[in-house]
Amino acid sequence: MTLLVLHKLLAILLTIALGYGAARARRLGEDVTAVARVLGNIAFTVFVPALLFRTTARLDFATLPWRTVSAFFVPVLVVLLGTYLWQRRRQPSQPAAPAVRALSASFGNSVQLGIPFAAALFGETGLGIHITLVSLHALVLLTVATTLAELDCAHARATHLDARPLAHTLMLTVRNTVLHPVILPVLAGLAWNVVGLGLHEVVDEVLVLLAGAVVPVCLVLIGVTLAAYGVRGRVRAAAGIAALKLLVQPALVLTVAHWGFGLAGVPLAVVVMLAAMPVGSNALILAQRYDTLEAEATAAIVLSTFAFAASATLWLTLLGRIGG
């Protein structure tokens, strides 16, 4: 673990602590829960859509290293869908809970921690691979988790309102999914990409400014949510999510990428360490959106971030032994 990565890790924890301290001191308002909801809504309806639209509109699909991309996303989607199905079988009282836990177990802190980590350990070549995967990270995982959450919420509404015709339920589900602040900018960005008009520099600058707010706002939001809900009673569930994210997912990615797709050296190390990143803040954003498991998602982010120093050392040692 390099000094640069440790400094980044410390900066993330300190930013979360600033949000926590400001909320506890009532500097952001007397109703801390309401403050957390406002911050979450701003991030989810303004900043995250700008990031997703710009990423999708600028993505060059023709130049993507598809073998490396597949070696990462195939096992990660297995973790996401496997966690979702496992949680859904438990018949949770909150319909979006399986999707929130699934995203928490699969979505990593790929930007504010992942980028300096890749740059420090793997150099320019590794950073290039990492950024390519990051360009698809939120696009793929957040879209899949959001779609699953919308389907489960629609099913719950249909169960309570079984008098509605099936066609009405299906139309409502499609509408809520397409007009969702995650799905809509992705679809719009894909359409813009296909048309090939490019982004005007003024529009692009606006999107850059909005997208740049995702990281600091989300980190502060984690601290505020921690102050609003605490972690009492959620540590066990959060620790399970953290274990899935820090241990199970990178183990699966290592197995599939190395022995399934034949990756080795820097590409293998990059995909494994990206899979091993601690839980990303988008898990909390999704939880806030559906008013589900906010405290658990926050606890999982904090616990996995603290534990990352030890788990990263484990994976780097193992990669060194197998030639990664």
Q: Around Cβ 306, how many Cβ atoms within 10 Å?
A: 13
Q: Is residue 302 within 8 Å of residue 235, measured between CB atoms?
A: no
Model pTM score: 0.81
Token couple for 221: 């939001």
- For residue 12, is it within any domain? yes
pLDDT value at position 173?
61
- For residue 195, is it within any domain? no
pLDDT tens digits, one per residue of 238-262: 999 999 999 999 999 999 999 999 9
Strand partners, 108: 279
- For residue 45, is it within any domain? no
Rg (CA), the chain: 19
pLDDT value at position 174?
65
Q: Which residue has better confidence, 176 or 272?
A: 272
- Of 113-122, 167-176, 185-194, 279-288, the one with minimum mean pLDDT is 167-176
Q: Tokens 């899979």, residue?
A: 275
- Terminal alpha carbon distance of the chain: 15
User: pLDDT grade, residue 218 (50/70/90)?
Assistant: confident
Nearest to 147 by CA among 186, 178, 106, 170: 178
- For residue 182, is it within any domain? no
Alpha-carbon distance of 279 to 103, in angstroms, equals 9
pLDDT value at position 17?
92
pLDDT value at position 154?
82
Token couple for 104: 């928490």
For residue 189, pLDDT beyond 70 = yes
- For residue 199, is it within any domain? no
In the 8-state DSSP scheme, what is residue 109? -
Strand partners, 279: 108
Alpha-carbon distance of 108 to 241, in angstroms, equals 12
- For residue 200, is it within any domain? no
- For residue 16, is it within any domain? yes
Over the range 241-274, which residues count as b (16 or more CB within 10 Å of their CB) and which as e?
bbbbbbebbbbbbbebbbeebebeebbbbbbbbb
User: pLDDT grade, residue 178 (50/70/90)?
Assistant: low
Token couple for 239: 């620790």
Q: How high does pLDDT run on average in the chain?
A: 86
CATH number at residue 120: 1.20.1530
Give the structural domain span for 143: 3-34+62-176+218-319
Token couple for 289: 């959106």
pLDDT tens digits, one per residue of 16-36: 899 999 999 998 888 998 998
For residue 179, pLDDT beyond 80 = no
- For residue 324, is it within any domain? no
For residue 55, pLDDT beyond 90 = no
pLDDT value at position 58?
86
In the 8-state DSSP scheme, what is residue 245? I
pLDDT value at position 114?
83
Number of domains in the chain: 1
Q: Strand, helix or coil at 293?
A: coil
For residue 5, pLDDT beyond 70 = no
